Amino acid sequence: MLKLELSGRGLLILGLAALGVWMVTQIWAVVLLLIVAAIFMAALLPYVALFVRWHVPRPLAVLSVLLMVLLILGGLFAVVVPAMIDEFTDVREHLPEYAQDMEDFLDNFGIQAELSDPARDINWGEIISGRVAVDYTQRLLVGILSGMTVLVLTAYLLNDAPQIKRYLYRYIPDDREADAARILQALERVVGGYIRGQIITSAIIGVYTMVVLLAVGVPNAVAFGVLAAFADVIPLIGAFIAIIPAVFGAFQESPTQAMIVLALLLLYQQFEDRFLVPRVYGSQLGLQPVVVLIAVLIGGELLGIPGILLALPATATAKVFLDYFLDRRDPANAFARRAESVEILAPDVPASDPPVPGA
């Protein structure tokens, strides 16, 4: 027999909790945009704080930081988009020839494949027009609007960070303010450090891919390097995805060049998985490799690509709170020492504004 008794207050709390969960599921798209904006806020907050230390008004500091980010992203897209349009045009015009080259290459290994005839039968008009074109245009517009929304939310969060912190401290007892300050600082360092560390790994794979393609003699090497940097944002599988366009671009020159590029990029992928990823995700986030893998798999299963991107920051955030509660049970292992032990590949500036005393 199991007897369960709930007071009126308990029923009210359960009802409100169920209502809150239902509301989150109904506005999940908005919640997801807010989470992404909060992550970008944590990553950019140290740079805004640096401008503020230089006596720049906070709104102007936020505008300057976001403008620099937009200029960098705009420059990267200006490099990638024209090159990819040229690559697509070249593929559309010469795909049967490339298919024949692939047949000849596979034939050297005793593999028979019929690729040239299907390549000639492709109706490019159906692919780049009609319902498919409308579908991709709608997705592009949704992506642009979502990006603009994240940008505006990030700007508001960066500008109002001190006021938000003061508002949160109003609900924290005086004897818990020190713990709250440490938790907030740890969250800013972990989430912001993940973004900044990811920028470093993306830059490394981008430069490496560009150098390899330039050495082999593949056109549009810079554009393929930028694509590799963007693909590497996806944890664990990004390095594999980055290989595909570079190898395909090299195959347009010759199968031999494609094999050289494939071998060199696979070699880098092993280096990234065995050295860079453990350093970035292990040292910065304090997560074991198996935890990283499980978190990414769960995130991908629940939310797809957005889940993969948010899995590690969410897991690292959960670990911060878990460490806090464990340290409360074991005072000998001080939470402050645990937070300070996290190595972040970030500039030597304060993670945010100084802790705000209780209002």
Domain ranges, ordered by start, for the chain: 29-171, 178-344
Rounded distance between C-alpha atoms, residue 17 and residue 23, angstroms: 10
Mean pLDDT, range 109-130, rounded to an integer = 68
- pLDDT given at position 124: 65
Question: Pick from 347, 350, 314: which is nearest to 191 by CA?
Answer: 314
Residue 55 CA, distance from chain mean position: 32
How far, in Å, CA of 262 to CA of 266, rounded? 6
**pLDDT for res 324:** 76
Against a cut of 0.75, is the pTM above it?
A: no
Distance CA 286, CA 319 (A): 8
* More confident: 134 or 344: 134
H helix or E strand, kind and range, residue 348: none
Share of the chain above pLDDT 90, in %: 12
**How distant, in Å, are the alpha carbons of 74, 87, 108, 254 from that of 94?**
30, 10, 22, 13
In this predicted structure, what is the pLDDT of residue 84?
A: 81
Residue 346 has pLDDT above 50, yes or no: no
Tokens of 220: 């549009």
Query: 61 or 197, which is more confident?
Result: 61
Residue type, 251: F
158-171 per-position pLDDT tens digit = 999 888 888 877 87
Instruction: Give dist(CA 287, CA 300) in Å, integer.
Output: 18
pLDDT, tens digit (0-9, with 9 covering 90-100), for 109-119: 777 777 666 76
Report the distance separating Cα 152 and Cα 66, nearest Å: 10
For residue 12, give the amino acid letter: L
* pLDDT(233) > 80: yes
In 96-121, which positions are buried (b, 16+ CB within 10 angstroms) versus exposed (e)? bebbbbbbebeeeeeeeeebbeebee
Given a cut of 60, whether residue 79 has pLDDT beyond it is: yes
Note the pLDDT of residue 128: 61
Can you tell me the mean pLDDT for 343-353? 42
Exposure on the CB side of residue 343, measured as CA atoms within 13 A: 6
Asked whether the predicted pLDDT for residue 348 surpasses 70, the reply is no
Q: Are 342 and 186 in contact (CB under 8 A)?
A: yes
Dihedral sign of CA atoms 271, 273, 278, 279 in order: positive
Encode 220-241: b = buried (16+ Cβ within 10 Å), e = exposed.
bbbbbbbbbbbbbbbbbebbee
pLDDT at 56 over 60: yes
Phi, psi for residue 343 in degrees, rounded to 5: -90, 125
The average confidence (pLDDT) of the chain is 78
Integer-rounded Cα radius of gyration of the chain: 25
pLDDT at 71 over 90: yes
d(CA 116, CA 101): 9
C-alpha distances (whole Å) from 235 to each of 83, 264, 286 are 26, 20, 16
pLDDT-derived band of residue 184, with 50, 70 and 90 as boundaries? confident
Beta-carbon count within 10 A of 338 CB: 17
pLDDT for position 344: 38
Alpha helix locations (H) across 108-237? 116-120, 124-127, 130-159, 161-169, 177-216, 221-231
